[in-house]
Structure 1
Amino acid sequence: MEQIIKISTPLILSFLLAACGSSDKAAVDTSDEDNDSSGGTLTLKTATSDAALETQIKASLFTSYGTINNPYTYALESGTVAEAVADSLDSAVPDTSSTNTQESSVDEADRVKTDGNYLYVSSVTQPSISIFKAETGAAPLVAKQSLATLNDVTISGLYLRDAEDQIIAISGDGQNPYFLGDMWFGPYYWQSRTTEVFDLDVSDPTAPAQQSKLSIDGQLISSRRIGSYLYLATRHTPYADGLIAYPSSEDDVTTNKDIINTASLSDLLPSYQIDDGAKQNLFESGDCFLTDYDDANNSQSSIISVVAINLDAASPVPEATCFVGDAETLYVSEKALYLATTGFRYDTTDGVSTYSGVQTTEIHKFALDGTDADYKGSTSVSGHLGWQQDLKPFRMSEYNDVLRIITYTGAQQSSVDSPAHLYTVAENATGDALEVIGELPNENRPDPLGKTGEQIYASRFIGDKGYLVTFRATDPLYVIDLSNPADPFIASALEIDGYSDYLHPVGENYLLGIGKDAIADTSSSTGGNTDDGRGAWYQGVKLSLIDISNPQDPFEKETIIIGGRGTETAVSQSHHALTTLQSGTTLKMALPVSVHETESSNTYYDESDPRYFYRWTRDELYRLNIDTENGEISLLPSIVGQSRDSENYYYTQYALDRSVMIGDEVYYLHEDEVLTTADVVE
């Protein structure tokens, strides 16, 4: 039976072992008992010696490999100073779009970058960068640079420093962008990975030249760039040669314990390598923190590294800080880096993942100053960050040195619990810890954020306001007033059809929601009547322009529905897929859409039934202009990326599509092909 409530598709998930323990000897044996984390204050403590660091790491290895193991039950982890804002990013070429980022002063990697004259594109099929000349109505290929990545892994993102004629290409996150459904991986997926950073000189775009390659042990969680500094968060899983991944007998356990006991600290810590040079220690024990938990029976198996690289340096020598713990997502403001992870376990029954125990999200703050990442404190709040990796950073935002974070308190994806909880977090008076200074709901403001059975979809913080979308049958858009972070409150709630996956500011008075239209389920077998319906049938892609000029009375000003049931937009998978360019009072906008509007040969439902699925028709770049003063929307002809005979359904990699605007020209990157306004559909 088809599920009627749309589940946010998670991107790549890795796996967390619930808290870390310690002991006073280097080799420690631990049991495999579960112990769920609980909310509250926690602190990372500096590893006082190599012996203490070795003890912590080996404790985690004993938990993972020192007991008979069931390889089909894992713990879950769903999952990346500042100079002055004016100097933190390269000046954009006039009338040229840039990567859509969460914070305007913090750059993010994506598969296409432009300097206004050329497009720099990472391939979706091979580890290479293609360079296209941006011409009127055309984008000819002028160069292609192959990159020697480990295991031929594709490049996950690019950074462009056009003033320095420098491209930074990164691989190592291990994400599979072709798969858009739910996916749960075992440790084999995220172990033994390497993050690679390539520095290319593009002073002559027709002849790019690789300057260096930096390799760092560990899977890339995420990255950000502020001015001339690149920040990476990586996840290294300590491992000793010869370990049996899934010990199934006491002999296997004995073998693993012997290997762990004889391993040296250098065998277990991550290292780095520049080009073909010798491997170097990424950090010493004094650069590492241990997670301050009391229960030594729960040990985390990961070493999280916060790595800073000065992109102006002659050699990309990394500066790193680490902690023995875990992290699933990265949020970076112009002054600080936050790592967050959800601490709980899950089990799978008949392919359905459910979370057991208490869910908490742990947050660690590092102040940024060039290559220095100064640990400022940690805290733990109730709930988790959801399932879709791209949305997790948007659950957080720093404003006036206060972190705002939205968590989901449902026990599983089909939870009937009211979903959301808001926390405001700041450093304490002495600056050595984080503390919760406000929350919603609370005793004085008990109104829930979301109704029973709803889930969190889009969230966005803009200045002293927060915007939250929950959904089950209709889309309540909550406007949260955060002007006093110690006493946040719900300013208003707007109910409209459908839901938004992503929220984008349009001028000062509007908010654009991008998601799906939906029709409430009214059948007696699944939903009852519209008042207490338990779900909705999602339809085509919906663009909803919300007037937020009066926070107490928002309203839906304009609505656009694209395609029929089955239509998808890449923006629901990655905010980088949305391209905007402000020109006077006009916000030019483009988003890739995989349109489904061809009649289906399946006659079980007819087109009047909300359950009717249309077949794939084409991929296109949908374009529109929005007047930021009056909210009027003008539709422009779409650029077609791909079409097929209506009788043949064709699966496409629409989530990888991107676009670039340069003046009046629009370049649509569909897979590895660049199309232009010459390919519009009138």
Structure 2
Amino acid sequence: MTLRTVLTTALATTGLVAAVGAGYALGHADDAEGPPAETPPIRLANADLTPAESCEDLLASFVERGVEQVGPYGWDQGGMTVFDDVGAAGAERSVGVPLSAGVSTSRSTSNESGTNVQEAGVDEPDVVKVAGPLLVRLQDSTLRLYDVSGDAPAELASLPLSGRSRASAQPAELLLVDERVVVLQGSDDGRETVVTTVDLTDPTSPEVVDTTTIRGVLDAARLHGDVVRLVLRAGLPELDFRHPGDELGAGGAERFNEQLVRETELADWLPTIDGEPVVGCEDVAIPTDDDATLGSTVVVAVDPASPNERTVTAVATEATTSYFSADRFYLAAGPSWGAIRDCWGPCPLPWNDDPDGTTGLYAFALDGAETTYVASGEVEGSVADRWSMDVVDGSLRVALGPTSETGNFNSVVTLREEGSELLEEGRVDKLGVDEEIKSVRWFDDLAIVVTFRQVDPLYAVDLSDPADPRLLGELKIPGFSEYLHPLGERRLIGVGQDASLSGELRGAQAALFDVTDLTDPRQLDVVRYAKHTQAGAATDPRQFTWLPERRTVLTVVADGWTGRTGWVSVLRLDGGRMTNEMVEVEYGSDVAQVRLVPLASGKVVLVTGEDVAFFDVP
């Protein structure tokens, strides 16, 4: 059997993800007296979203809201003030019981493509993917294929790709779907997304079969079965606004700018392909809430086997966060404060100036080749990122930060779909008073929430009854965990920052936690790295690899302040303790490209900026 036959067979038989659907299309009403089935309308379950009756109607909705949000200096983006008092975290502890089978931390997030993902069964893009003996990686603008079945990785082919430069605002990433690769690249100006489909039928001779450029910023991409879904936004139109000056005063500049908004076209408000909106007007839902964020969020779905066939749906608001589960897609549109989460030292807590202070939530069901808008609602507070959202058995769980409409604390809220609405079912408040959420990890009946300002409270929240979530226990220690990973039913590891009792950050750390008794979570051991180091998994969980058979964690640590050296920290777990060995692997900006990819053979591939090699786990 030739190598080509081996690799092709592996690609055809290796299931990367459990199949969920073969497309992403809008649902249609079953009313017999409605429009014919071949031209289905958007199925909208309540009045929070309304279908655009025409392209004129859709454009008018954008223009009307746009005129309200333009001023003498252009788009009015609002302001932000900060809440900067320091207080002690506090919440009453519920009397609980030790961890039982109903409250488990063993929910899997592994993926056969080699990427550490948020949701089992939902693959995410990365710079490297593996299927059987084939490894595919992006190196700058070149796609490289390797056979990893031998004693050392052997390069089979390389394919230069057009569409971006190394300095692009959006790093190139890929998804591997059967015998095809979908490469996602950002343009140099950051306003376009280039989607390149490559055929790997012969891995020694990869072939580009389609290149599509979408004028729009890629916010997220996911793989469900053999369907790639892209979440894009167009941003606000780039118009030639005037500012107050010698010729125009403030009033004149504002009137001039309002007229520019009135003269816009739909292509200014929606992502486009070759200058035409990527979505039909009839497939865009318009929020009825006047406070909905101005903009558009578009989901494009494509089967790489037919890259020119796309199904598209859109909402006429700009979402700040998108979250995918295996059968649901959620958009969160509202206050966002993720941009300040990477500050060093005690971070100021945000209070958004938006008078509404709420986040709109839109739920879509994924079922086969259809997606159906099923419910919407809103919550007071801010959703920091996708890790702050999760769904289990129809219960949406959201970790919320403070806004102008909340207290000075964080919350966990559960919502249920009731008819066409997302209704609040239960909540726990006062998680980290005067603190910010640093990380969240969800399990079937449990949430672990880490907040920080001076010390690191780790909260265990019982979600076994969504209508009555309970704070079971908390642990206060210096520093904080920015990424949490389950290590079985009784252990968690947190990767983040060490800190003094006054809140001064000192360097990266890895902490091992025992959650056998959720009323009394304990820190079993901690590994502290050198001063000013940073843990890669804190901002990119794909730089974290768990090898359960070896009870070993591989995670990237970098000296971000001097020298920019990158190491692989090899953490071995034994009897509630960790031993650490540091292996120097990379330097400079290429540290962000380091990946450790486990293979079915038990080997681990180390991918650096320039090399692909087997990593000898010490």
Shared topology, TM-score over 0.5? yes
Equivalent-residue separation in structure 1 for 2:590 and 2:476 (angstroms): 33
1:426-455 deviations in Å (ceiling 9; x for gaps): 111x2x1211111112xxxxxx211x3322
Which residue is equivalent to 2:92? none
Equivalent-residue separation in structure 2 for 1:384 and 1:261 (angstroms): 31
State how 1:11-410 maps to structure 2 within 5 Å. 43-63=48-68, 67-69=71-73, 74=78, 92=112, 98-123=114-139, 126-134=140-148, 138-149=152-163, 153=168, 155-161=171-177, 164-172=178-186, 193-237=191-235, 239=237, 243-248=239-244, 249=248, 256-265=257-266, 268-272=269-273, 281-294=277-290, 300-312=293-305, 314-343=306-335, 355-358=352-355, 359-386=357-384, 392-409=385-402
Residue 364 of structure 1 and its aligned partner are, at CA, apart by: 1.0
* 2:566 maps to which of 615, 619, 640: 619
Equivalent-residue separation in structure 2 for 1:554 and 1:224 (angstroms): 34
| Pair 206,640 (structure 1): closer, same or farther in 2 beyond 3 Å | farther
On the 8 A contact 2:134/2:148 being kept in 1, the answer is yes
Residue 170 of structure 1 and its aligned partner are, at CA, apart by: 1.1
Residue 574 of structure 1 and its aligned partner are, at CA, apart by: 0.8
On the 8 A contact 2:74/2:257 being kept in 1, the answer is no
1:154-204 deviations in Å (ceiling 9; x for gaps): 65321112xx22211112498xxxxxxxxxxxxxx76xx222222111233
Residue 301 of structure 1 and its aligned partner are, at CA, apart by: 3.6
Which residue is equivalent to 2:96? none
Residue 587 of structure 1 and its aligned partner are, at CA, apart by: 3.5
On the 8 A contact 2:78/2:354 being kept in 1, the answer is no
| Pair 265,518 (structure 1): closer, same or farther in 2 beyond 3 Å | closer
| Pair 540,659 (structure 1): closer, same or farther in 2 beyond 3 Å | same
SS of 2:121's equivalent in the other structure is coil
SS of 1:204's equivalent in the other structure is coil
Equivalent-residue separation in structure 2 for 1:91 and 1:516 (angstroms): 27
Which residue is equivalent to 1:648? none
Equivalent-residue separation in structure 1 for 2:270 and 2:233 (angstroms): 11
State how 1:525-544 maps to structure 2 within 5 Å. 536-544=503-511
Which residue is equivalent to 2:42? none
| Pair 136,74 (structure 1): closer, same or farther in 2 beyond 3 Å | farther
Which residue is equivalent to 1:665? 603
On the 8 A contact 2:197/2:307 being kept in 1, the answer is no
Residue 625 of structure 1 and its aligned partner are, at CA, apart by: 3.6
Equivalent-residue separation in structure 2 for 1:169 and 1:407 (angstroms): 33
SS of 1:398's equivalent in the other structure is strand
| Superposition TM-score, scaled by structure 2 size | 0.77
Task: State the one-letter code of the partner of 2:391.
Answer: E
Task: State the one-letter code of the partner of 1:147.
Answer: L
Residue 264 of structure 1 and its aligned partner are, at CA, apart by: 4.6
Equivalent-residue separation in structure 2 for 1:639 and 1:119 (angstroms): 23
Equivalent-residue separation in structure 2 for 1:260 and 1:369 (angstroms): 38
| Pair 565,72 (structure 1): closer, same or farther in 2 beyond 3 Å | farther
SS of 1:129's equivalent in the other structure is strand
| Pair 1:435 & 2:423 matched | yes
Residue 225 of structure 1 and its aligned partner are, at CA, apart by: 0.9
| Pair 1:639 & 2:606 matched | no
Which residue is equivalent to 1:492? 473
* 2:414 maps to which of 420, 424, 440: 424
Task: State the one-letter code of the partner of 2:539.
Answer: Q
1:238-286 deviations in Å (ceiling 9; x for gaps): 648xx3145443666555555544555466543336xxxxx66533222
Task: State the one-letter code of the partner of 1:68.
Answer: P
Alignment root-mean-square deviation, CA: 3.5
1:13-39 deviations in Å (ceiling 9; x for gaps): xxxxxxxxxxxxxxxxxxxxxxxxxxx
| Pair 588,347 (structure 1): closer, same or farther in 2 beyond 3 Å | closer
SS of 2:598's equivalent in the other structure is strand
Equivalent-residue separation in structure 1 for 2:568 and 2:422 (angstroms): 44
Equivalent-residue separation in structure 2 for 1:476 and 1:346 (angstroms): 19
1:326-350 deviations in Å (ceiling 9; x for gaps): 11221111110011132389999xx
Residue 425 of structure 1 and its aligned partner are, at CA, apart by: 1.0
| Pair 1:483 & 2:464 matched | yes
1:104-154 deviations in Å (ceiling 9; x for gaps): 11111111111242332223xx43322334366644544322222167746
SS of 1:337's equivalent in the other structure is strand
Which residue is equivalent to 1:530? none
Which residue is equivalent to 1:458? 439
Deviates more, 1:52-61 or 1:474-483: 52-61
Residue 369 of structure 1 and its aligned partner are, at CA, apart by: 1.9
SS of 2:500's equivalent in the other structure is strand
Residue 560 of structure 1 and its aligned partner are, at CA, apart by: 1.7
On the 8 A contact 1:74/1:347 being kept in 2, the answer is no
Equivalent-residue separation in structure 2 for 1:235 and 1:482 (angstroms): 33
Give ranges in structure 1 of 5+ residues lacking alignment.
Answer: 1-40, 77-88, 175-188, 274-278, 387-391, 442-447, 522-535, 597-613, 644-650
| Pair 666,638 (structure 1): closer, same or farther in 2 beyond 3 Å | farther
Residue 64 of structure 1 and its aligned partner are, at CA, apart by: 5.1
| Pair 668,61 (structure 1): closer, same or farther in 2 beyond 3 Å | same
On the 8 A contact 2:461/2:473 being kept in 1, the answer is yes
SS of 2:57's equivalent in the other structure is helix
SS of 1:58's equivalent in the other structure is helix
1:544-596 deviations in Å (ceiling 9; x for gaps): 1111122222212222222x22011110111111122332xx34321111148
| Pair 254,113 (structure 1): closer, same or farther in 2 beyond 3 Å | same
Equivalent-residue separation in structure 1 for 2:111 and 2:454 (angstroms): 44
SS of 1:520's equivalent in the other structure is coil
SS of 1:366's equivalent in the other structure is strand
What count of residue pairs does the alignment treat as equivalent? 529
Identity of aligned residues (%): 24
| Pair 1:471 & 2:452 matched | yes
Task: State the one-letter code of the partner of 1:217.
Answer: R
Equivalent-residue separation in structure 2 for 1:555 and 1:346 (angstroms): 28
Task: State the one-letter code of the partner of 2:595.
Answer: R
SS of 1:477's equivalent in the other structure is strand
Equivalent-residue separation in structure 1 for 2:451 and 2:534 (angstroms): 19
State how 1:553-564 maps to structure 2 within 5 Å. 553-562=520-529, 564=530
Which residue is equivalent to 1:529? none
| Pair 346,148 (structure 1): closer, same or farther in 2 beyond 3 Å | closer
Which residue is equivalent to 1:654? 591
Residue 468 of structure 1 and its aligned partner are, at CA, apart by: 0.4
Deviates more, 1:497-506 or 1:376-385: 376-385
Give ranges in structure 2 of 5+ residues lacking alignment.
Answer: 1-45, 81-108, 341-347
| Superposition TM-score, scaled by structure 1 size | 0.70
SS of 1:56's equivalent in the other structure is helix
On the 8 A contact 1:73/1:346 being kept in 2, the answer is no
Which residue is equivalent to 2:488? 507
